[in-house]
């Protein structure tokens, strides 16, 4: 565990700022809500692809998140 001062020091470092920029955009909610957000974000960013990170401390929860997003996106399971 870090103290508040240590956490602030880490977050203020160049590496901490990089992490902050990486998590600036978050899509949280039901699969349909997340898909709507990702479609809007894709259009806003003029992107032809997105990289998504599914956050959880539990592997099963991360995998379930991937499955839900894939289903909402209409992707077939392989």
For residue range 12-62, list pLDDT tens digits in order: 999 999 888 877 888 999 999 999 999 999 999 999 999 899 989 999 999
- pLDDT > 80? residue 76: no
CA 22 to chain centre: 9
CB count in 10 Å sphere of residue 12: 11
pTM, two decimals, is 0.65
- pLDDT > 70? residue 78: no
Task: Place 67 in a pLDDT band, splitting at 50, 70 and 90.
Answer: very high
Q: Angle at which helices 59-72 and 31-45 pack, to 10 degrees?
A: 70
């Amino acid at each position: 565990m870090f103290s508040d001062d240590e956490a602030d020091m880490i977050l203020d470092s160049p590496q901490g700022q990089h992490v902050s920029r990486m998590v600036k955009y978050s899509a949280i909610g039901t699969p349909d809500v997340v898909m709507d957000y990702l479609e809007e974000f894709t259009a806003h960013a003029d992107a032809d692809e997105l990289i998504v990170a599914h956050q959880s401390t539990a592997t099963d929860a991360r995998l379930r998140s991937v499955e839900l997003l894939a289903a909402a996106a209409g992707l077939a399971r392989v």
